[in-house]
Amino acid sequence: MSVPGKTLLLLFPILFAALISCNRNPGQDSAQEKEAWVQLFNGRDLDDWIIKITSRPLGENYKNTFLVQEGKMMVNYDEYDTFSGEFGHIFYKTPFSHFKLRVEYRIVGDQAEGAADWAYKNSGIMFHAQSPESMLRDQDFPVSLEAQFLGGTGEGERPTGNLCTPGTHVVIGEELITRHCTSSGSSTFHGEEWIHFELVVHGDSIMHHIVNGDTVLTYSHPVIGGDLPEGFPLKEGTPLTSGYIALQAESHPCEFRKVELLDLSENK
């Protein structure tokens, strides 16, 4: 039986919708509905975050190193005359073990006077970190894993999404890596563009660094090891299965406009 042209036109949207529905992955919609991303940074203030800056007491936001402006969390050195090793970390209040973390960041402006060359356009995310309360007053960096953010110098390659390991070691392939930093396979970003970074962490099983949608580094089985703060309670070789998340201030201004987390602990 033939179908009149006008009737066919009326039926076409219905047929097209049915075709799309048949081709869709049945679990796609339900999976998206189940992803409950939590905004760790609310875009208004530093509530739920704890500041620790080297040589300063816990909770002191020395010279407004961390502030919020126009919906962005900013690492700021406008009030510094010179930088004298005031490495800063701002910790989210809750530890995590299995999670995805999404951050949008950019490195901007000029480095603070007096800072080291290695800290030029240098920031990062510490995770599986010791608590801010357990850090010593003069401790520069928490025992943790660091997803390191680097900006380009204008020439040559300087990848971002690297790994640094203060007080820790990891396994890459089948090799225990004891060096402090390992470069990723990312591109170099010389300007002040926004970078989308995602961190996928499954306890002490496996970790992925993802830059602008590309997986640039994968490693596994982090353990305590290397130079540790005096009195640190965990022994070398202890598996690192969970900890705190902290954003870093190492002397160069940077901005974060998104910090969100998907807790995967129920799916482990």
Confidence grade of residue 268 (pLDDT, cut at 50, 70, 90) = low
Q: What is the mean pLDDT of residues 15-29?
A: 44
Q: What is the mean pLDDT of residues 39-52?
A: 97
Confidence grade of residue 201 (pLDDT, cut at 50, 70, 90) = very high
Q: What is the mean pLDDT of residues 85-107?
A: 98
What is the chain's mean pLDDT, rounded?
90
pLDDT of residue 21: 45
Q: What is the mean pLDDT of residues 6-21?
A: 41
**Greatest CA separation found in the chain?**
86
- Among 27-41, 71-85, 217-231, whose mean pLDDT is lowest? 27-41
Instruction: For the chain, give the percent of residues with pLDDT over 70.
Output: 87
DSSP states along 129-175: EPPGGGS-TT--S-SSEEEEEE---SSS---SSEEE-TTEEEEETTE
pLDDT of residue 267: 73
Q: What is the mean pLDDT of residues 136-162?
A: 97
pLDDT of residue 266: 80
Give all strands (DSSP E) within 6-54, no chain letters: 38-39, 49-53
Of the candidates 69, 68, 50, the residue with the CA atom closest to the CA atom of residue 60: 50
In whole angstroms, give the CA distance from residue 159 to residue 131.
Answer: 29
Give 171-178's long-range contacts (Cβ < 8 A, gap of 24+): 171/219, 171/220, 171/221, 172/218, 172/219, 172/220, 177/219, 178/225, 178/226
Which neighbouring-strand residues pair with 78? none
| Of 153 and 33, more confident | 153
Confidence grade of residue 1 (pLDDT, cut at 50, 70, 90) = very low
pLDDT of residue 115: 98
pTM: 0.87
Which neighbouring-strand residues pair with 148? 124, 162
Domains of the chain with CATH codes: 38-267 (2.60.120.560)
pLDDT of residue 17: 42
